Amino acid sequence: MKKSKVGFSIIGAGIVAPLHAAAINATPEAELISVVDTFEENARKLQKEYKSLHSYTSFQECLEDTDVDVVIICTPSGTHGDLTIEAARAGKHVLCEKPLEINASKMTKMIETCEENNVKLGTVYPRRTIASTVKAKQMLEKQVFGRITLADVHLKFYRSQSYYDSAGWRGTWEMDGGGALMNQGIHGIDVIQWLNGGVKKVFARTATMARNIEVEDTAVAVLEYNNGAFGLIEGSTTVYPGQKTRFEIYGDKGTVIFSDKGIEKCERLYGEDGDFEYVKANDNIPQDIPSPGHYRYVYDMTHAVLQDKDPLVTGIEARKAVDIILAIYDSSKKGKEIFL
């Protein structure tokens, strides 16, 4: 690629699309070429607000546009696979909103197709770039808490029945792929598995307790991580009022607890208090954008294309959280422990 700017197209002009549009406009080396939505009014509204060059109602029009280098997929979860595969075959790089997909074989096909066509595949997990998460990751890599024995994540959200009724795909297996875990909880699940080197096996229970939906609104899972620690996932969309996402990691020489409010506890048995310096994904974050996390991923994908390097979270890395959630569903259905 010889262009000085990377051209982006946003696929799906829904709730998350403006975060990406603002991030593109805030990145000097990026340019918003087009917005695609099957509803023409939605596409044109976003085009006008964020000054993209085009709005399309057809994905094919976007793929035929030679100014588009990267497509950002912001459509319902169950569409991610087909759109990514089609984009890769057209030679476009892909930045996909979470989850990567809701089907294991589709994720494999996405990754393989992107590799075969020499295009990049990245996924947006903003929680990985939050300062407290980055700091915890560095401390764990330095083993400042000794051997990790317990690692829990608490994902207690509130979503009303009207939330699920507001869009036909929400709360369905076909398009949402799951409920409290696959839609809301996946960010926290990604972080806890990332901090502990992945998950070895799960035993879980899921249920639909309070909402009129196909998928789970409540789930509990016991994990064994690859680092040998045990852990717990609590996930729900029925907790009123919703609680802050909370991570608790315990070792034989210390503890770190952090949440949406930052690090709440960081204690060590020996030495310093664990207050280490950390490196941000990008130190020059614009102050006037609505989501620094989304900016980091757009900035990262832009430079991944320009410098021909892997994106911050590759497709292979992005599927790990989805595989854990699918194993949780499988465990709940079969009533037995599932190995990943």
Residue 281 has pLDDT above 50, yes or no: no
Number of domains composing the chain: 2
Q: Residue written as tokens 């087909």?
A: 82
Q: List the single range of 92-101, 181-190, 273-282 with lowest mean pLDDT.
A: 273-282
pLDDT confidence band for 1 (50 / 70 / 90): low
User: Which one, of 262, 127, 109, 111, lies nearest residue 195 by Cα?
Assistant: 127
Arithmetic mean of pLDDT, 113-118: 98
Other C-beta atoms lying within 10 Å of the C-beta of residue 90: 17
CA distance 43 to 69: 19
Claim to verify: residue 76 and residue 185 sit in the same structural domain: no
**Torsion, Cα of 23, 25, 29, 34 (10° steps):** 100
| Residue 155 domain-assigned (yes or no) | yes
The answer to the question of residue 41 being in a domain is: yes
Q: What is the pTM of this model?
A: 0.95
Is residue 1 in a domain?
no
Are 89 and 138 found together in one domain?
A: no
Q: Supply the pLDDT for residue 288.
A: 76
pLDDT of residue 322 exceeding 50, the answer is yes
Let me know whether 183 and 167 are in one domain.
yes
- Please indicate, yes or no, if residue 303 is contained in any of the structural domains: yes
Domain shared by 91 and 157, yes or no: no
Tell whether 309 and 242 lie within a shared domain: no
Q: What is the pLDDT of residue 201?
A: 98
Residues 79 and 152 in one domain: no
- Domain of 227, CATH number, reads 3.30.360.10
Do 190 and 333 belong to one domain?
A: yes
pLDDT tens-digit readout, 154-198: 999 999 999 999 999 999 999 999 999 999 999 999 999 999 999
Quick one: 50 exposed, middle or buried, by C-beta within 10 A (0-12, 13-18, 19+)? middle
User: What is the band of 287 on the pLDDT scale with cuts at 50, 70, 90?
Assistant: confident
Average pLDDT of the chain, as a whole number: 94
- Peptide bond just before 292 cis, omega within 30 deg: no
Residues 66 and 206 in one domain: no
Whether the predicted pLDDT of 2 surpasses 80? no
Higher pLDDT, 272 or 318: 318
89 and 186: one domain?
no
Is the backbone peptide bond immediately before 241 cis, with ω within 30 degrees of 0? Answer: yes
- 205 within a domain of the structure (yes/no): yes
CATH of the domain at 41: 3.40.50.720
Q: Average of pLDDT values for 264-268? A: 92
- Model confidence at 283: pLDDT above 60: no
Quick one: 67 exposed, middle or buried, by C-beta within 10 A (0-12, 13-18, 19+)? middle
Same domain, 138 and 266: yes
4-40 pLDDT tens trace? 899 999 999 999 999 999 999 999 999 999 999 999 9
> Quick one: 274 and 135 in the same domain?
yes
Reduce the secondary structure of 73-118 to three states and give it as a string. Answer: ECCCHHHHHHHHHHHHHCCCEEEECCCCCCCHHHHHHHHHHHHHCC
Give the residue numbers spanning the domain of 299: 6-126+284-314
